[in-house]
């Protein structure tokens, strides 16, 4: 569910070409690592890399949103929707990190 929600929100955030390609590459590559973590349930490396990637995308999403937020006169409805979905994805990431950390603990992480 975490992967699906963040995939959809990232897809909607990239809808208007508001962000550079680094936003999409960063978020989608972390989601690919998340799929790897789901497929290999016994791998601690996959879940640690997914958790680390989520934490790093929190920082990069903050930078992307701060730098590329359009000025008030250039804010159309589509840009507002894309930016809102990117912000919503950013707000959900700490909760996702918590659940991924719990998965890490269940797999035997210390």
Q: How far is residue 56's CA from residue 60's CA, in Å, rounded to a whole number?
A: 6
User: Token match 């963040």: residue?
Assistant: 6
Express each pLDDT in 81-107 by its tens digit.
Answer: 888 898 998 999 999 999 989 888 888
C-alpha torsion 45→43→99→20, nearest 10: 50
Helix, strand or coil for residue 75? coil
35-39, 76-80, 94-98: segment of lowest average pLDDT? 76-80
């Amino acid at each position: 569910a975490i992967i699906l929600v963040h995939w959809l929100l990232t897809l909607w955030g990239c809808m208007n070409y508001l962000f550079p390609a680094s936003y999409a590459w960063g978020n989608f590559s972390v989601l690919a690592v998340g799929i790897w973590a789901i497929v290999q349930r016994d791998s601690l490396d996959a879940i640690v890399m997914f958790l680390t990637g989520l934490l790093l995308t929190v920082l990069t999403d903050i930078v992307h949103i701060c730098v590329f937020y359009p000025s008030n006169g250039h804010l159309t409805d589509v840009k507002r929707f894309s930016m809102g979905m990117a912000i919503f994805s950013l707000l959900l990431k700490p909760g996702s990190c918590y659940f991924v950390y719990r998965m890490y603990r269940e797999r035997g992480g210390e």
